[in-house]
Amino acid sequence: MKHWIKDWIFPILEGLILFFIINFFFSIIRVSGISMYPTLQNREFVIMSKRVPIHRDDVIVFNAYGVDKNNPTVRKGTKYTKRIIGLPGDKIEYTNNGNLYINGKYTSQNYISRSQRTSGTLTLLLPEAKGVKIGANKTFTVPKNCYFVLGDNRKVSNDSRYYGFVPKNKILGRVYTFPWQEKIKM
């Protein structure tokens, strides 16, 4: 009987404890759609780290329910994957040539093409969200405890330009690719 407990029960308990510890810190998420292309592919699996600080240019997952009120298909548990452009208190300006200035400092956005920086970002398909102003001589400030997020495939991305800022409490975690996949560009 003692050997049976040692050989079967302890390894199962160790496995369950390890599973719950890993699940507490990480989740596997499947990307749905092309709004983060070319950084992330449709139907690609990524790792979401739940307990890490969030920085500008991080790719994040957030709960879109209550954030994207324009999309009638958003339900409880709907998750969006986007890149953080603006942190709380940041002053954001996009010029007509696609340059991004954060707090008056030029930011390169080398993770997207020139076309995505210009026409992709500046050509809006829907009205701008309240508080968001894109284009020359227009600036806006990201509210306290909120983030300004955009998809890397700006031409098709449904993002903060349309539904506004993402509250901090809606952010679920930061995205990482698996080691054998190409690294997320920053």
The CATH number of the domain holding residue 100 is: 2.10.109.10
116: which 2 tokens? 């995505």
- Is position 104 within any domain? yes
Strand partners, 59: 83
pLDDT at residue 185, as a whole number: 57
Pick the catalytic residue: 35, 79, 157, 170?
35
Coil vs helix vs strand at 45: strand
Answer yes or no: is 148 within a domain. Answer: yes
The per-residue pLDDT for 93 is 94
Per the rule left: phi > 0, alpha: psi between -120 and 50, beta: everything else, 103 is left
Q: Which residue has the tokens 């398909």?
A: 125
Which one is catalytic: 79, 82, 160, 170?
82
The answer to whether position 70 is within a domain reads yes
The partner residues of 172 in beta bridges, in order of sequence, read: none
82 carries an active-site annotation: yes
Closest Cα partner for 54 from 145, 181, 160? 145
Query: Does pLDDT of 110 surpass 70?
Result: yes
Work out the average pLDDT over 6-20: 73
> At 24, which helix (H) or strand (E)?
helix 10-25
**Which pLDDT does position 149 carry in this prediction?**
97
- For residue 40, pLDDT over 60 is answered with yes
Q: What is the pLDDT of residue 125?
A: 84
Specify if 159 maps to a domain. yes
**Assigned domain for 183 exists:** no
Check if 50 is active-site.
no
The answer to the question of residue 181 being in a domain is no
Read off the pLDDT of each residue in 55-65 and give the average, rounded to a whole number.
95
Look at residue 84 and tell me if it is in a domain: yes
Between residues 14 and 76, the one the model is more confident about: 76
Q: Is-contact 157 169, C-beta < 8 A?
A: no
Determine the average pLDDT of the residues in 2-25: 71
Core vs surface per residue 45-70: b (16+ CB within 10 A) or e: ebbbeeeeeeeeebbbbbbbeebbee
Domain residues for the domain of 48 are 2-176
Confirm if 83 and 151 have CB atoms less than 8 A apart: yes
- Per the structure, the count of domains in the chain is 1
Q: What is the mean pLDDT of the chain?
A: 87
pLDDT on residue 121:
87
Asked if residue 29 is part of any domain, the answer here is yes
More reliable by pLDDT, 15 or 40: 40
Helix (H, G, I), strand (E, B) or coil at 122: helix
pLDDT at 44 over 60: yes
